[in-house]
A and B are shown apart, each in its own frame.
Chain A
Amino acid sequence: MRKLVYLFFVLFAFASCSKEVIVNQEVKPVDTGVNPDEWVLVPAGHFYYNMHAHDAVIDNDYEIMVTDVTNKQYAEFMNKAVAAKAIKIDGDSIKGHYPGDPFDGYLHEWKIPEGDYVLMPFGEPGSHIKLVDGKFVVDKGFENHPVVMVTWFGAKAYADFYGYRLPTEKEWAKAARGTDKRAYPWGDEISVAVTNFKSSHNAIQKMLDAKIGRTTPVGYYNGKKYGDFQTEDNRSPYGLYDMGGNVWQWVGDDYPDVHYRYMRGGSFDNYEYNLFVWARNSAGPDYYGINVGFRCARDVKTETVTEVAVDSVSADTLKVEEIEVKVEEIEK
């Protein structure tokens, strides 16, 4: 019996000797060849929504980012927005103004009043953006990784600053699933070669520390080979990368009777069932985490553009490029 007790102590000591986790350790930049500034069009129409595949419809065309917003993009936003006084540095975090949520006083609902809220803390382990000499800079090698440690307020502030918005849950789901009933954005099967999730042991993780989950650069799983690690293409039917795995993505909806904001897509820290296109996570809008990011959507003004073009100019006398220039002028 004594031997058994010793054995347990030895095993416990062994199990407790986890390597120190150095999250902000520099990594060699990985070029995935995917451009995070690209957007794709998701046309209006029917699609299957959620686990039970209910028939749903989105009436308008919209565009959505091909990848999650990256650290580099978010750092650029913060530098510009601070300069423009749209957001401000306050102690060890960056804050922005939010006009508040409508409050229904429902069971478990919290008030989110008007005020300044944390968009992103800096200096906390897990964040790859630092404030150096008054400028926001990204940890080396993490420039094209998805931004994390960003609150819902932070995601919204980014979108608002550029005139975008966060996708609604339905828009997110349609962009991830397309018009069939697939379970994951890329199909019905999952493997470690196709996305970054709990079971992954990808090249980045090996490079850093195989024991800890990590974000991968946006668009990492695109069929390219990195060292001896061959990836598969994880694009959704509309061409979006990382709609399952890597980081949870904030969506824009503020539903009545709850203060929660919702996230979709699962992350590197979740098992495969969290990556289903219908899987959902939620937290207060002030929550931030090492596996939570976002991407943006924007409206497409096709119908407006056509009407404007037809009403304002003689369409048959202008070439397409000229119409576009004219439309831009009118929009301005």
Chain B
Amino acid sequence: MNRFNYLFSSTKGLILTAISLIAIVTAVFQTLSGPMVEWGIKDVTVKLLGMDLNPQERAGRIIMLYHTIAMAVVAIEVYMITSIVPMRRHEQRNINMFITVGYMTAMVFGLGFAYWGHNFTFHGLFLVGQSLVFFSGVMLAVALNPWKKEYYVTDKEFAHFKSGMDMERMAFFVMTIAMLISAGYGAVTGSFWSNGHETFLAEDLIRDPHKTHLQKAIIGHLHIMLTLIAVAITLVVGRWLKFKGVFHKIAMPFMIVGTIVIAGGVWSVVWTHMAHTFIYIGSVGVMLAAFMLVIFSWKKLIHDNAAEMGYENPNFIQKLKALFHDPIKFGPGWQMVFMNFTVSGVGIFMAIKLEQIFRVWPAREERITLTGHWHILAALIATIIIMYYVDIVGIKGKIRKWFGWILIIGSDIAFASMTIYSMKRLVVPNEVAQQGVVNTTMLLTDFGLGAILVSLAILLGWKLFDLFQKDGLWKKEAENPELEAEKTSDPVFNLKRESEFNTEGGVK
């Protein structure tokens, strides 16, 4: 297998390609805002790349930018799902092919349209790319069909219905269907663009008493898409960390019902005022499922690492040492716990205290809190993906520990600081005194994010260097392209047919 095939057809290579493209887009486009403007770096980027930044089109540009990044993230999750969830090989190949062409087309032409003048051919191709991503989602839903008997659980330790139907597969299936419908919410509204529907950022509408149905649909769309991306990564992490047993059996029903209720609640926002009630109920289900995963994974880490570290009957301190022994596997669970303080907790607190606190603040401050909390959720998901990728490429020893702790500590400092920054009025009511808080939290945020980005740059630099090696690690990855995961079902065993399933990476 040559390098091109590795990067564009193997699961591990496809993930690397998508992470690299996201990193490049993030590196370039983050120079256009925040402190980068003060430092004059924005001007350099604009001049160097010949960008056309019409101020009137800023909202549209931002929308295009996060769509391109989000689609690449969805692609990464899809690559992971098609590798760790049993399905036919041709299904995996087709889904991966369509989503790869789709997100890349959307990324290149979407950004081209948004940042380099309005060439409407580019906009058309951006839509083509998105359509391909959507089509690959339809194919994924078909491939994930949980009613197919060959995908019934073979190990009863996995959550299953009475018939043997795999509950985790059902959770993946429900998430995929919900995502397709939710994408449709965005697509239908987007199709009215400049035909009665105008570009806007949801955060700019927060205090408008009267919103149109299309505006509500867009607000629902952006919330549910991010939520479902979070649901997807939670399910993927479960497979990575070999989630099974009683906690799995408790978690999966909650995950399935929670996903359906949240999605239904968000869709109902267009017609009812009850959306938040449904979202709270659904969120409890999804968060409980994630909580089960955290308990399971930490118990397993303590058990496995304690044995590896030679503790026969570990005391409390030894258990802690075992838990923290591998930050890359400890990290996803921790980030899910941490998320409650910076995302879910903040969101619920905002909803409860909206009238008493947040609507008393100036709109621009409420806006910071809102945008802060969904940026943090997106970034936490990104750190979990990176952790999984570090495990996929087999980084071991001290580098693995350093990388893991920098990711955890760097991101947590940044996101905690950002949360304090956005909530500064709660802790320091006086606006003058807040300026000290702003300076400190901004510095810590920049420091934390900088640490993560530098680590990621080193990782990707190393992978790039490796690609130029004749017998680099990429070759080994190319020969063993699937992700190692304990699969919930064994279609080969169920059907007694070997070659057509993606079972190579499975640990039986």
A interface, CB within 8 angstroms of B = 1, 4, 8, 11-12, 15-16, 18, 20-21, 23, 51-53, 106-109, 124-126, 181, 183-184, 188, 192, 198-199, 201, 211-213, 248, 257-258, 260, 263, 270-274, 276, 280-284, 287, 289-292
Complex interface: chain B residues within 8 A of A106 (CB)? 209
Q: Is the CB of A273 within 8 A of B440?
A: no
0/1 string, B20-57, CB within 8 A of A gives 1: 00000000000001100110000000000000001110
Q: Is the CB of A125 within 8 A of B37?
A: no
Q: Is the CB of A283 within 8 A of B433?
A: no
Complex interface: chain B residues within 8 A of A4 (CB)? 402, 405-406, 409
Q: Is the CB of A199 within 8 A of B37?
A: yes
Cβ-defined partner of A281 (8 Å) among B198, B209, B362, B440: B362
Range class of the B interface residue count: 35 or more
Residue picked from A18, A192, A211, A257, most chain B C-beta under 10 Å: A18
- B430 beta carbon closer than 8 Å to chain A: yes
**Chain A: CB-nearest residue to B355:** A108
- B432 beta carbon closer than 8 Å to chain A: yes
Q: Could you write out 27 A-B pairs with CB less than 8 Å apart?
A: A4-B405, A8-B409, A11-B444, A15-B440, A15-B443, A18-B436, A21-B436, A23-B432, A107-B209, A125-B432, A183-B55, A184-B55, A188-B54, A192-B38, A198-B38, A213-B435, A248-B362, A257-B209, A263-B362, A271-B37, A272-B37, A281-B364, A283-B361, A283-B362, A290-B431, A291-B431, A292-B362
Q: Is the CB of A258 within 8 A of B447?
A: no
Q: Is the CB of A125 within 8 A of B363?
A: no
Q: Is the CB of B56 within 8 A of A260?
A: no
B399 nearest CB across to chain A (Å): 13
- Report Cα–Cα, A233/B375, bound state, in Å: 37
0/1 string, B177-208, CB within 8 A of A gives 1: 00000000000000000000011000010010
- B360 beta carbon closer than 8 Å to chain A: yes
For the complex of A and B, 6 pairs with smallest distance between CB atoms: A183-B55, A199-B38, A125-B432, A257-B209, A18-B436, A282-B363
* Given A52-B198, A109-B209, A271-B37, A183 and B360 contact (CB-CB distance below 8 Å): no
- B401 beta carbon closer than 8 Å to chain A: yes
Complex interface: chain A residues within 8 A of B229 (CB)? none
B431 nearest CB across to chain A (Å): 5
A179 nearest CB across to chain B (Å): 16
**Chain A: CB-nearest residue to B62:** A273
- Report Cα–Cα, A221/B133, bound state, in Å: 50
A12-B444, A199-B37, A291-B431 given; 9 more Cβ-contact pairs under 8 Å: A15-B447, A18-B436, A18-B440, A21-B433, A125-B433, A188-B55, A257-B209, A263-B362, A271-B33
A149 nearest CB across to chain B (Å): 9
- B460 beta carbon closer than 8 Å to chain A: no
Complex interface: chain B residues within 8 A of A272 (CB)? 37
B interface, CB within 8 angstroms of A = 33-34, 37-38, 54-56, 58-59, 198-199, 204, 207, 209-210, 273, 354-355, 359-364, 401-402, 405-406, 409, 413, 430-433, 435-436, 439-440, 443-444, 447
A172 nearest CB across to chain B (Å): 16
Complex interface: chain A residues within 8 A of B59 (CB)? 51
Q: Is the CB of A287 within 8 A of B360?
A: yes
Complex interface: chain A residues within 8 A of B58 (CB)? 273, 276
**SS class, residues of chain A in contact with chain B:** loop
Complex interface: chain B residues within 8 A of A192 (CB)? 38
Q: Is the CB of B55 within 8 A of A18?
A: no
* Given A18-B436, A51-B56, A258-B209, A289 and B363 contact (CB-CB distance below 8 Å): no
- Report Cα–Cα, A272/B444, bound state, in Å: 22
B439 nearest CB across to chain A (Å): 5
- Report Cα–Cα, A107/B276, bound state, in Å: 14
**Chain B: CB-nearest residue to A4:** B405
- Report Cα–Cα, A264/B106, bound state, in Å: 36
**Chain A: CB-nearest residue to B441:** A15
Complex interface: chain B residues within 8 A of A212 (CB)? 435
- Report Cα–Cα, A5/B296, bound state, in Å: 28
B114 nearest CB across to chain A (Å): 15
Complex interface: chain A residues within 8 A of B409 (CB)? 4, 8
A249 nearest CB across to chain B (Å): 13
**Chain B: CB-nearest residue to A51:** B56
- Report Cα–Cα, A246/B413, bound state, in Å: 32
Q: Is the CB of B207 within 8 A of A260?
A: yes
B271 nearest CB across to chain A (Å): 15
Complex interface: chain B residues within 8 A of A291 (CB)? 431
- Report Cα–Cα, A213/B199, bound state, in Å: 32
* Given A51-B59, A281-B364, A21 and B207 contact (CB-CB distance below 8 Å): no
- Report Cα–Cα, A16/B440, bound state, in Å: 6
- Report Cα–Cα, A282/B406, bound state, in Å: 40
Q: Is the CB of A211 within 8 A of B447?
A: no
Complex interface: chain B residues within 8 A of A213 (CB)? 435
- Report Cα–Cα, A257/B207, bound state, in Å: 11
Complex interface: chain A residues within 8 A of B402 (CB)? 4
- Report Cα–Cα, A107/B56, bound state, in Å: 31
B146 nearest CB across to chain A (Å): 41
